[in-house]
Structure 1
Amino acid sequence: MLNLTYSYRIYPGLDQEAKMLGWLEQCRRVYNYALAERKDWINSRKCLVNACSIRQEYIIPADTPYPDYYKQQKALTKAKELIRQLKAVHSQVLQDALKRLDQSFKFMQHRGFGFPRFKKSGQYRSFVFPQFKSNPVKGFEIKLPKIGTVPINLHRPIPEGFEVKQVRVVFKSSGWYAQLILQADVSVPEPMPDGDPIGIDLGLEKFLAVSTGELVERPRFFVDLQSKLRWLQRKLRNKKKNSANYRKIQAKIRALHEHIHNVRREFHFLTAHKLCDMAGMIFAEDLNLLITSRGMLAKHCLDAAWGSFLEILKWVCWKRGVFFAKVDPNRTSQICPQCGSHTGKKELSERVHHCPECGYITDRDVAAAQVVAQRGLVAVGQTVILPVEDGCHRTPIKQETSRAILGSPRSTRFG
């Protein structure tokens, strides 16, 4: 079973937009109420018998079961009979709000931290129609339950053989969008290791270094616009909360964040496609991104968004039939790709790799990318024979797999 997600811009009328904004607010309230119910139940089980609070205590009987998704869904059905605003919202849309909260708790239990937070006004920005009996897209219009027919900018057609299973309506600063989840009963095989291999090394001095010697500059997506963001936030602080001018500046801040996200995502996709043009196998380091997002350079690491880029690269490689794999990232900058000897730990200011054993000199990040490529070939079962030195020139030995280890310069260049 193959799933795809296509995003299209939609243009609801004034009445439809008011209804969808009301739905978002009701979903937010259901989400917050369900979160408060779970949080109160958890806190009521934390108090020790000999250390009760002298101010307040939760009055929840000991035999009260945990309010999981199914119990809250059953309670939601009864609440809709009493609250008129809930009855106006599509039933499955409200159920999806509870499901989203349940998934947040499961994700928190999986990674061990990150308790779900309450959604402030305006922070709940999407709702889902989980199923359709027939295709809701007719021409350049999409029919949404209880909302009606909405014009849609179908800038690319839906592929043949795919059916619309779900529709997520998203509200952004630039307008409304419909994300169509498409499904087809086909099986796409995973790409097999074949073709020229390259390794990549991610960094902050350069966004990306390729084992062929290519270096990609790192755009400062957030850092370059941080002064403008700081200026807008300073203006927001001086406005009366929830006033008309307050909401205008809030809209400008949201638009700026969306612009940064769009520019960064476009750069990631363009870079991923250029890498796929260069080789048939791409290897990258299996980085611990949680550590990089907490250090002294956390802002710059998050601005580069290495995790997002690797996910996009994996998707683009699968789509274009290029093999992608991650390798062990330990000590890639301490090993010489020419002779395999350990050169010792390098300081961050040392940007050139100089091997004292064989005299190989190259950029530090390029050398690390070459080591990544060699480890990737070993991981997929390829025979790696390192090149040898012939005077001042490198003469590669003919490899058994007829594939270059370090890659060769191609016509494709990063502009």
Structure 2
Amino acid sequence: MKWDGYGQLKPTGPATHRRSEGFTKLCPFSPESANEDQIAAARFPDAPHRDARLGRHISCHVGAASEPPFRKRGSSGGMVTWVAAELMGRGHIDGVLHVHPGEPGQPFFGYRISRSQEDLLAGARSRYHPVHLAEVLDQVRATPGRYAVVGIPCFIKAVHLARAQDPVLAERITHMLGLFCGHMKSARFVESFAWQLGADPDRVRAVEYRLKDANRPANWYTAHLTLDDGATVQNEWFHLADGDWGAGYFQNSACDFCDDVVAETADVSFGDAWVEPYSSDGRGTNVVVVRAPLIQRLIDEGVAQGRLDLHPVDADFVADTQAAGFRQRREGLAYRLTWTRRGIRPVKRVAADATGIGWRRKLVYRTRAAISRNSHRMARLASLTGRPGSYLGWARRAYVVYEGLTYHRGRLAPLFDRVERMMQRGGPER
């Protein structure tokens, strides 16, 4: 994997040629690789397929780890680290592959193998940064043992596909812990943070995407940068030009063709409970989707022992916490698949369909795609020319359009509202 000019990681080398049989079956976005339904059916044959949004699952829960220090050290309810630590503590695994802050002189984040609870806690928190699994999977091949992997949906799927081709990985990677995902960001996102926080991007040494504060709502994200002299700068995302996650700034283009929100191929998946009263609880709250019997037993025992504060919920509750993500990857994906494109034609579980989508919603999806595509270009140009204001000015203007279309607010909202009324009435207003 190598960095491109947009701050994204791309596969390189002869083995990644799109006609290479190994690569086409390994890449999670390849039309020739197994899809999520096929992988889940083979791994969880006894788990009911109750809901197409969540895939196969045994149970769903909302809550947090009440056993310290997991909730406090995590970005949400601490459940990811609690389950990983429990698997390790009971001897089911010898190590966990998950994302850690990078060492000095290295990228901000990267996959490492944790072999103790303290190492697990050091790797907790959200990391909205490009990373890859190549080096850490080589470590698994070189070191016998049983391992768990923590990752977003496409990473978990990629590990399943790698296990299908590599018997060593199939034997040693025994558990998959999935994270709900909205989309991947490029490394330029950190550069944009620095520009807007008045810092030189070259001086940034550490990044915290979600600085946790129990006294503030969990959905009030705060970007926090540590500079080379130890000084720190921070601000809430909603004060940033590109701080609205749904607008798609710096989104990886592959994310436009993902139909898995909740890591359907993972043994257990974790997300944030983005519904009230949980989204206002600054301590953080998880939703948990369980697919493997072993994980269900660990959770049941944790609840019975008072170590977990979890309550059962249904699939609709979990889907509601990720409502925007499901719109983007169901209705939005169906619409995007109707667009004329060159190159590889994605094969998804969602069929191409533009019927029943109003003009305004179509414009939302078009605008989001344009913001995603052009944010890479504008930020790169701003970096090369040393004029960050050119990107930030563009980002703010683009958001005015997106805000008016999506939220019916801002300077352009009255215009879009008037057009919508005209179309509903079948003609111009008089």
Q: TM tier, shorter chain?
A: under 0.3
Who wins on radius of gyration, i.e. which is larger? 1
Of Structure 1 and Structure 2, the greater helix share is in 2
TM-score (norm 1): 0.27
TM-score (norm 2): 0.26
